[in-house]
Amino acid sequence: MKKTTTRLADGRELIYYDARDDAVRDAADRRPLEPVDTAAEIRHDRLLGDRVAIASHRQARPYHPPADACPLCPSRDGRLSEIPAADYDVAVFENRFPSLAGDSGRCEVVCFTPDHDASFADLTEDQAALVLAAWTDRTAELSRLPGVAQVFCFENRGAEIGVTLGHPHGQIYAYPFTTPRTARMLDSLAAHRAATGGRNLFDDVLAEERADGRRIVLSGEHWTAFVPYAAHWPYEVHLYPRRRVPDLTALDDAARTEFPQLYLELLRRFDRIFDEGNGRGKSTAGAARTPYIAAWHQAPVHAADRAEFALHLELFTIRRSPGKLKFLAGSESGMNVFINDVPPEAAAERLREVASE
């Protein structure tokens, strides 16, 4: 992998990740951009203990631009974009409309491919491996920034999720605090350790799922994908490395090599679960892609017990059946108590049914 770092016209950082060592990325950003002026602010909810990012400048961000005006496509044919090069493998840059900025953290955009009409599931294993390398490198770099407490790599896909740019991309948030969801995991981890004489909760959950088997979706030599026993979402899969590590930087070569194969298969199954009437494991031309969120959970940078945390990816969709979405209504939004209409065992069975042939 070759890494090339440069600057956009307004001073934001741009990093190219190329599979070929001889790739040259020297195109300058020729747009007349003013320096970025952000007003991101972190406020504390004293009742819940949560933190909320206030970012009014995001109201001006691009909203469903046409394909010929996509800011994530390469700059070519006289059209200038966020990526000055006429082509790229993977590109990462500071978000022009960040939710977190300055002392309040940092937000980056990760472009998976120059192909506007593709999705992550369309990538080759080599391309997916390069994205994993970019996620890993950014995790390492952002973790070293002063004030960064946690690094979160994720992808939102689909208008139903709220995605405003159709180009295949993800984001990375560098938070100046430990997120509430992770804090709850750490509390559960500590409580389990105390109650079991030092056992690790993540290890036990993974071992129990593998022993039970009913909710296993995919299993490789180094990764296991399963629908959790108490899944919140209609179709939700957790992907764990078999060897517990705290973050992406700690994965070994064997796990990195196997990851693209399993993850791409998992995403392709998500695209087939609502494609009714098709043959087993066969996608139908023109079938709607399943909206999803894919979220990497990594240990906080400075947590005292970060070695006890288990890196894992959570993949879920808000679609519960063809043409129907799972909305967060009164119980979920008002009280954070989820009600799932799809039994986890049934979801796992469906995801096994649509395996590639």
In the annotated binding site for Zn(2+), the residues are: 70, 73, 116, 167
Residue 67 has phi, psi (to 5 degrees) of -55, -35
Say how far apart CA 161 and CA 156 lie, in whole Å. 7
Distance of CA 255 to the CA centre of its chain: 18
Three-state DSSP at 249 gives helix
Q: Where are the beta strands (DSSP E) in the chain?
A: 2-7, 13-18, 41-44, 51-54, 90-94, 106-111, 150-157, 169-175, 216-219, 223-226, 235-241, 292-297, 312-317, 319-321, 324-325
Say how far apart CA 138 and CA 141 lie, in whole Å. 5
Residue 128 is encoded by which pair of tokens? 């997916």
Say how far apart CA 21 and CA 42 lie, in whole Å. 40
Q: Where are the beta strands (DSSP E) in 66-178?
A: 90-94, 106-111, 150-157, 169-175
Distance between first and last Cα of the chain: 31
Is 169 one of the annotated active-site residues of the chain? Answer: yes
**Which entry of 169, 222, 297, 312 is annotated as an active-site residue?**
169
The annotated binding site is made up of 70, 73, 116, 167
Phi-psi region of 323 (alpha: psi -120 to 50; beta: other; left: phi over 0): left
Cβ count near 334 (within 10 Å): 9
Say how far apart CA 85 and CA 156 lie, in whole Å. 25
Say how far apart CA 267 and CA 249 lie, in whole Å. 23
Distance of CA 175 to the CA centre of its chain: 15
Catalytic residue set: 169
